[in-house]
A and B are shown apart, each in its own frame.
Chain A
Amino acid sequence: MNKGKPADLLSGPLHVVNVGLESFSEQLKDLGVDVVQVDWSPPAAGDPDLARLLSKLGA
């Protein structure tokens, strides 16, 4: 697990993981920003309540 420190965000270069709209990844790539696009699909068979529960359990 990363040990993020608050200052990391504002003081150094951005390293982005993009989850959702691909156009945001393309925009960042065009600007030379380090970005990884997640191949996302709705978790827990598309059940938001179950997805929420799983995220709280750390899954």
Chain B
Amino acid sequence: MITVNRVRRAFYLDSVALMRHSRVLAGMDGVAEAAMMMGTPANQAIMREAGLLDMDAASAQGGDLIIGVRADTQAAAEAAVEEAARRLDQASTQITREEEWRPRSIRTAVAAAADTNLALISVPGAFAAAEARKAVRRGLHAMIFSDNVPLDEEISLKQEARDCGLLVMGPDCGTSIINGVPLAFANRVPNGNIAIVGASGTGIQEVSCLIAAADSGVTHAIGVGGRDMTDAVGGLSTIMALDLLEHDSGTDHIVIISKPPSQSVARKVIESVAESSKSFTICFIGAGSLELPPNAQFAGTLKSAALLAVGREPDDLALPTPRIAPKGRERIRGLFSGGTLCAEAQIVLSNLGRQVVSNAPVPGAMADTDAKDADRLIDLGADEYTQGRPHPMIDPSVRDAELKAALTDSSVAVILLDVVIGFGAHDDPAGHLAHLLDGAQGDAPLVIASVTGTEDDPQCRSSQAAKLERAGVLIAPSNADAAALALACLNR
């Protein structure tokens, strides 16, 4: 095997575009693996680990772009590197030709458009807080999609924003909806009178879509970032979001979604809730019930949070008729693209008496060391699956290897899947899954899925569900219902 590198100095292209190009290179004749990445230390470590970096390229800086190809022959590697160079040339020409004016900085953008009120930031994590700080200092609210932002940067940025009366959503904020506008990975949900404040992107997506399915709607969904309700960050953005929503006349009810927060943050949040004129549903996934003020109700799952928010009973959804899972098998295998959906399924199965292991275990589940005598639920968005690769919501093939293994595993009776659609997500995740399932053997496990999305999403929920049903998949109305249905099928 030959590894060839090229470094293009001071050249930036966003990570999604680079991944798209990398996949084309990886598919070329004789190429074993290929990647194009910005030369940050984290990216260089990933490329080195994958055998895509030689000593030469290691001198690249964070602002340089590295092309790395591992191939059978020198000629194949060189051909791929040439193709990469051609694609980069094309990308830069395209940007130059575009007639639209592009400022080089947030400062210039704000100087030209004084009504700018939000900066959406998705640059590499090492630079994201610096960009957000520039935005805050110019009076903008910020949404930081980037992950890998240092914790101390998150804290100081959020403190500075709070002192200016500004909101920082994130870092690692995948989903927000402001005034009906979906930002990053969000769904097209109707307007209504319910707001969501969430530390989890897929949690916000599931709850907002279930609210839409119940013929209600959303005013705003504010993502605060996965670390906001930890002791270290102290719920700075959560409290700021609740303050903003308190003055929002369109919002009557607020749903708060998080993993169980630290005690001190839980206390602060509950104090804010008690002082509010609005009513609340508090969904601390995996927490026991909480002592709450009279204007708040507790939900243990995303599904019950959505139903309580619209005034229904938590179990008020009709389940499809269970099918019979293959006999003589006991295990459920869950393959999730959404971390919070994986957590919710673990809670549903644990509460129904199942022993659950996971690479991202909730309280009550075990770490994924010995899966033989337990249901195994995998979060495929976790770092070990996504380092140097797109998230499974963007690239559903991240799930392929685990799905193929589960389909031929003679201990697995039911496979549980989540399909998350909406803006930012893959344009046809159900089609991708259906293609894989078409090749399954007759005695393969029963496959159950939920589709998180709405009819107005670009992929359209019912079209995605229909594709899966044609491939033999049993569709549940929600992620929690899919987990409950899996057990019902096992027990038939």
Task: Decide whether A and B are members of one complex.
Answer: yes
The chain A residues found within 8 Å of chain B, CB to CB, are 1-24, 27-28, 31, 33-34, 36-43, 45-48, 51-52, 54-56, 58
Contact of A21 among B14, B110, B117, B164 (CB under 8 A): B14
Looking at the complex, which one of B116, B124, B247 makes contact with A7 (CB distance below 8 Å)? B247
The 29 listed contacts between A and B (C-beta, < 8 Å) are A2-B140, A4-B165, A5-B165, A6-B240, A6-B244, A7-B244, A9-B178, A10-B179, A10-B244, A11-B248, A14-B117, A16-B116, A16-B119, A16-B120, A18-B120, A18-B122, A19-B122, A20-B14, A21-B122, A24-B145, A27-B423, A28-B181, A34-B113, A36-B102, A43-B127, A45-B61, A52-B129, A55-B129, A55-B133
- Name which residue of chain B comes closest to A51, CB basis: B130
- CA separation between A47 and B99, bound complex, in Å? 31
Contact of A1 among B14, B120, B139, B245 (CB under 8 A): B139
Nearest residue (CB) in B for A50 is: B130
**Chain B residue at smallest Cβ distance from A48:** B126
Cα of A7 to Cα of B165 in the assembled complex, Å: 9
B63 touches A41 (CB 8 A): yes
Which residue of B124, B141, B184, B243 contacts A42 across the interface (Cβ within 8 Å)? B124
Q: Mark B122-146, 1 if CB is under 8 A from A, else 0.
A: 1110110111011101111100011
Q: Which B-chain residue is minimally distant from A28 (CB atoms)?
A: B181
Q: A15-B117, A33-B181 are in contact. List 5 more A-B contacts (CB 8 A).
A: A4-B165, A6-B166, A17-B106, A17-B119, A39-B103
A27 CA / B181 CA spacing, docked (Å): 10
CB of A8, distance to nearest CB on chain B (Å): 5
A54 to B145, CA, bound (A): 22
* Interface residues as binary, B414-456 with A (CB distance below 8 Å gives 1, 0 otherwise): 0000000001100000000000000000000000000000000
Bound together, the chains give a CA A21 to CA B15 distance in angstroms of 7
Provide the bound-state CA to CA distance between A33 and B367, in Å. Answer: 44
Does the CB pair B40–A4 fall under 8 Å?
A: no
Residues of A within 8 A of B63 (CB): 41-42, 45-46
Taking CB atoms, residues of chain B closer than 8 Å to A8 are 117, 141
Q: In the assembled complex, which residues on chain A have CB atoms less than 8 Å from the CB atom of B100?
A: 37
* Bound-complex Cα distance A50 to B374 (A): 49
CA distance A17 to B153 in the complex (A): 21
Q: Is the CB of A48 within 8 A of B40?
A: yes
Query: What 7 pairs across the A-B complex have the smallest Cβ distances?
Result: A46-B63, A20-B122, A46-B62, A2-B139, A4-B139, A48-B126, A55-B130
Closest residue on chain A to residue B15 by CB atoms: A21
Docked complex Cα distance between A54 and B129 (Å): 12
Identify which of residues 346-363 in chain B touch chain A, using a CB-to-CB cut-off of 8 Å: none
Once A and B bind, how many residue pairs between them come within 8 Å at the CB atom? 185
Q: Closest approach, in angstroms, between the C-beta of A17 and any C-beta of chain B?
A: 4
- With a cutoff of 8 Å between Cβ atoms, the chain B residues found around residue A27 in the complex are 182, 423-424
A2 B116 Cβ-Cβ under 8 A: yes
Q: Are A36 and B129 in contact (CB under 8 A)?
A: no
Task: State whether A6 touches B10 (Cβ < 8 A).
Answer: no
B269 at the interface (CB under 8 A from A): no
Whether, in the assembled complex, B49 has its beta carbon less than 8 Å from a beta carbon of chain A, the answer is no
> Given that A15-B116, A17-B110 are contacting pairs, would A40 and B244 also be in contact in the complex, using a CB cutoff of 8 Å?
no
Q: Which B residues are closer than 8 A to A by beta carbons?
A: 10-12, 14-17, 38-40, 61-64, 95, 100, 102-106, 109-110, 112-124, 126-127, 129-131, 133-135, 137-141, 145-146, 153, 164-167, 178-179, 181-184, 219-220, 240, 243-245, 247-248, 423-424
Which listed residue (B62, B137, B184) contacts A48, Cβ 8 A? B62
Bound CA span A31–B134, Å: 26
Which of B109, B140, B178, B220 meets A38, CB within 8 Å? B109
Inter-chain CA distance A55–B244, complex, in Å, is: 27
Minimum CB–CB distance from A57 to chain B (whole Å) comes to 10
Does B110 contact A31, Cβ atoms closer than 8 Å? no
Residues of B within 8 A of A40 (CB): 12, 104, 123, 131
Closest to B394 in A: A23
Residues of A within 8 A of B40 (CB): 46, 48
Bound CA–CA A20/B423 (angstroms): 16
B248 touches A21 (CB 8 A): no
User: Given the complex of chains A and B, what is the CA–CA distance between A45 and B335 in angstroms?
Assistant: 41
Tell me the nearest residue of chain B to A10, going by C-beta.
B248
Contact (Cβ within 8 A) A4 B127:
no
Q: Which residues of B contact A1 (CB under 8 A)?
A: 110, 137-139
Q: Complex formed: what's the CA distance from A47 to B240 in Å?
A: 31
B113 CB contact (under 8 Å) in A9, A18, A19, A36: A36
A36-B103 in contact given A4-B117, A9-B118, A55-B133 (Cβ < 8 Å): yes
A24 touches B178 (CB 8 A): no
A14 with B106: in contact, given A6-B167, A24-B183 (CB under 8 Å)? Answer: no
